[in-house]
Amino acid sequence: MNSQLQTKPELSGVVLAGGRAGRLKGQDKTRLQFGGQTLLARTLEILDPLCSEKLISSNSLKTYNNCRIIPDRSPGQGPLGALYSCLLAARNTYLLIVATDMPFITTGALQKLWQEQDGFDVV
């Protein structure tokens, strides 16, 4: 982790953990193992150094380690519906959004995106 990041920014980390799992024949992708961790645990660990709040967009999870679970306000709308629900639920102005099935994303890459956001609405 870069030493330039002294405190967590007022940033809400969002993990998109929903979907119908059609490609996985109904298997819950959040529970798939990668590098000795579930994909969900890995994604949250990557977000943790950067985010003062962590949200999980899911219609099936009820609780998860100090995270707020955000169900879709309008089920069946896919990722855009999930984003809408999380935008309304987030306590911070800025959100860092990652899908749970992106195991190769790094904290460093997300930190770089956050550092480059000044003056832009989306990076």
Higher-confidence position of 80 and 30: 80
Q: What is the pLDDT of residues 40-66, one digit of tens each?
A: 999 999 999 999 999 999 988 888 888
Predicted local confidence at residue 21, as pLDDT: 56
Report residue 69's pLDDT band, with 50, 70 and 90 as the boundaries: very high
Q: Give me the domains of the chain, ranges plus CATH numbers.
A: 16-115 (3.90.550.10)
2, 49, 59, 65, 73 from 6: Cα distances, Å: 9, 10, 34, 24, 35
Predicted local confidence at residue 20, as pLDDT: 61
Distance CA 92, CA 117 (A): 15
